[in-house]
Amino acid sequence: MANVSHGRSDITSHPDVNEMRERYARMLGGRDVALVDGPVFLLGLYCAASPWIVHYTASQPALVAHNLIMGIAIGLLALGFTRAPERMYGLSWAMCAMGIWMIIAPWVVGTSPDKGVIINNVIIGALALCLGLVCAASAARRTPMT
């Protein structure tokens, strides 16, 4: 009977080793903030659902639609960060702008917001701003200086 078991061999003798190493480096090149993608998506999900969680759907109908749209936008940014990080991390500054907007939105979009609505949006905005800054710092560190 023939010996069909493959012994452990070193990959350095493989004819395509250089191409495989380059492909592996490209695949992992944009993943240095992969741990941020999940929290950004969860933040977007919470932002979209927050009017029902904090119970201000009746008192702030404009802010309900606003937070739903902003939550979807943050979630889509997170999916973009995951799917095409090398192209999307330039939009991390947009994430920072969205965070600042979420902080001031209760007074601009809402009508006489109560304390719970303000705290909710300030926390969402601060987290979006912080996560956006982490992504922006990572993108700036990865971009070669010319």
Q: pLDDT tens for residues 32-83?
A: 556 788 999 999 999 999 999 999 999 999 999 999 999 999 999 999 888 8
Dump pLDDT digits (tens) for 93-139: 999 999 999 999 999 999 999 999 999 999 999 999 999 998 888 77
As a whole number of angstroms, the distance between CA 34 and CA 40 comes to: 10
Q: Please choose, from the candidates 123, 34, 121, 113, the residue with its C-alpha nearest in 3D space to the C-alpha of residue 70.
A: 121
pLDDT of 143 reads 59
The widest CA-to-CA distance across the chain, in whole angstroms, is 84
Structure confidence at residue 21 (pLDDT): 79
Residue 9 confidence (pLDDT) above 70: no
Encoded tokens for 4: 């069909």
- pLDDT at position 41: 95
DSSP secondary structure, the chain, as one string: ----PPPP--GGGSTTHHHHHHHHHHHHHT-TTHHHHHHHHHHHHHHHHHHHHHT-TTT-HHHHHHHHHHHHHHHHHHHHHHH-HHHHGGGHHHHHHHHHHHHHHHHHTSSS--HHHHHHHHHHHHHHHHHHHHHHHHHHHHSPP-
Please compute the mean of the pLDDT values over residues 79-89 and round it to a whole number.
81
pLDDT at 3: 62
Residue 140 or residue 43, greater confidence: 43
